[in-house]
Amino acid sequence: MISIVFIRHGATQGNLERKYIGRTDEPLCEEGISQARNLRDKNLPHDYIFVSPMLRARQTAELIFPDRGYIVEDDFREMDFGVFEGKTAPELSGNDDYRIWVDSMCTLPIPEGEGMEKMKKRCGGAFRKLMNSVPDNTGVSFVVHGGTIMAVLAVFAEPKCGFFDYNIGNCEYLTCTYENGKIKII
């Protein structure tokens, strides 16, 4: 069995403004820096630390685990929001493509972006590869994005829940175990 923690990166200005921020490489804002520093003393598992390549995730990892190195996994980046990137729901309210996407429960591919199934395959494949390289009885932290966490859990968590049931806030975390190809949320 492997102990794992999924940590969502600290807040960015785009998060505070409730924008769709996927491929935009925003830094943490002051609130996000404070959130990450508050996690430093939580004694989170850190035999292995896997991090999204995005600046906000790397900054969060460096603040939580200041004396530890980490491994960047490119496939743990956030969903590509395509034409919705950098916009808020109210800004997109008159956009037909946005209404279609929302009506699909956000499952359809986004124009010039990514869809939920593609993201689950990308993130799930990266998670499987990394977990196959980690020995039993170790502790692993993932410092990634909300969408990445939801995608991995949608593929591996037992019992199954809906994709958005795994949503957590900035710098919140989920403690889990991984055994026999399954994640159990504790």
Express each pLDDT in 44-95 by its tens digit. Answer: 878 999 999 999 999 999 999 999 999 999 999 999 999 999 999 999 999 9
Residue 99 makes CB contacts below 8 A (sequence gap 6+) with 93
What pLDDT does 46 receive? 85
The total number of residues written for the chain in this structure: 186
| pLDDT at residue 43, as a whole number | 85
> pTM of the entire structure?
0.95
Domains and CATH numbers, the chain: 2-80+114-185 (3.40.50.1240)
SS3 182: strand
Is the pLDDT reported for residue 5 higher than 80? yes
C-alpha span between 93 and 166 (Å, rounded):
25
Average pLDDT, stretch 96-113? 94
Q: In what order do the strands lie in the sheet with 139-144?
A: 71-72, 48-51, 139-144, 2-8, 173-179, 182-185
